Chain A
Amino acid sequence: MNDKDTQNEQLERFMRKAHLHKPSDELKKRITAEAAKTWNQISPELSWQIPIRRLFVSAAAAVFVIWLANCSSDYALAQWQSGGLEVAHQQPSDLDALPEIHYSPLARHLLSTGRKPSITDASALRSYAETVRRILDEAQQNGVSKPPAPVEGRSLLLPKQPGFNSYS
């Protein structure tokens, strides 16, 4: 370490044999004259003006950015809306036509489960209503309140679902 320091000192001494130019009097005159000219030209900048100017510039920039974002959003939304409405109008009534559209596996699964007939579909309700009416008619005709025997182990009050007993 000391050896390095000694070497550095030796090199420093050697380098100090030369020196850098100092600014000449002519250069001093030229530069101070130019600086004085600038000093007189520029009106003194009041310190309170600086933050206010910065605030205005920031506010203008923020308004511009928001306006730009709104324009961009409106443009993108307009394109989407027009496309979306067309899709809504062209939605097929027949669900079997849907697989032609490219859905993801999850969407396809949801569509297929959604196509299963509901328990409360029209035919089931109709048959349920007829059964109830028949039971009531029979009860009125017989004048007794004995309920009819259940058919195939099921309550007659429950609607008979198509396909539920297809295994038997």
Chain B
Amino acid sequence: MDKKLPDNMLQAALARDDPAAVELIWARYAGDLFAYLQVVLCSRHDAEDVLQTVFVKIVQKRHRLAKARCLDAYVYRIARNEAFRLIGRRKKGRTIEAVNESWLIVPEGRQEPDDLAEQLQAALANLPQPQREVIVMKIYKQKTFLEISGLLGLSQNTVASRYRYGMEKLRTLLENLIL
């Protein structure tokens, strides 16, 4: 997230109906939201579709966003709602675990097992969604518990306990790979 851009600057651009705000929103949120959506949906393609929907929603609600007290939480709430809407739609057809698509990558040139990304992906997909989103925000986006609690609208204790339980499960699932 581009923290160099303060909330009030972005909100001012939204309030004066400046189309350049779209670029600012992209610069600030696209990376984090895309990561978040990939983890929640366990699918890169679904994450791309939902990210587009989220941006359209942000544009539609730009005047409310301009007055929002916590911009980050508002944007994450939109993303979360859209992600769950998609999950609800696809629940009839296929489950999250059944999605066989790569959304984690291991950089080339590293001395790692070929299927490391798949194994990590499978382990993360086995976690309950609330634990998964906290772990990914903490590990892959280097966010603190305080920041995560603000984004998801939860208490710090809840976030910390979800992280702990999730890590315990991951340790069990990845026992063979870590040792």
A residues bordering B, Cβ < 8 Å?
4, 7-8, 10-12, 14-23, 27-28, 30-32, 34-36, 38-40, 42, 44-47
Contact = CB atoms under 8 A, between A and B. Distances in A.
Given A17-B110, A23-B51, 11 more contacts: A4-B164, A8-B164, A12-B139, A14-B174, A17-B106, A17-B112, A20-B140, A31-B30, A31-B55, A35-B59, A46-B63
Interface string B30-52: 11001100110000100010011
A38 B177 contact: no
A77 to B, nearest CB: 44
A19 B140 contact: yes
Nearest to B17: A44
Contacts of A20: 34-35, 38-39, 103-105, 136, 140
Contacts of B96: none
Interface string B143-179: 0000000000000000000001001001100100110
Interface residues of B, number: 45
A12 B164 CA distance: 12
B139 A42 contact: no
B148 to A, nearest CB: 14
A108 B67 CA distance: 70
B73 interface: no
A45 B59 CA distance: 11
Nearest to A28: B26
Contacts of B44: 21
A42 B177 contact: no
A19 B51 CA distance: 19
A8 B138 CA distance: 12
A29 B16 CA distance: 23
B22 interface: yes
Contact of A45 (B22, B63, B103, B120): B63
A27 B139 contact: no
B107 interface: yes
B116 to A, nearest CB: 6
B114 interface: no
Interface in B106-133: 106-107, 110, 112, 116-117, 120
B6 interface: no
A145 B38 CA distance: 118
A-B interface, 3 closest residue pairs, ranked by CB to CB distance from nearest: A35-B55, A20-B35, A18-B104
A128 B103 CA distance: 109
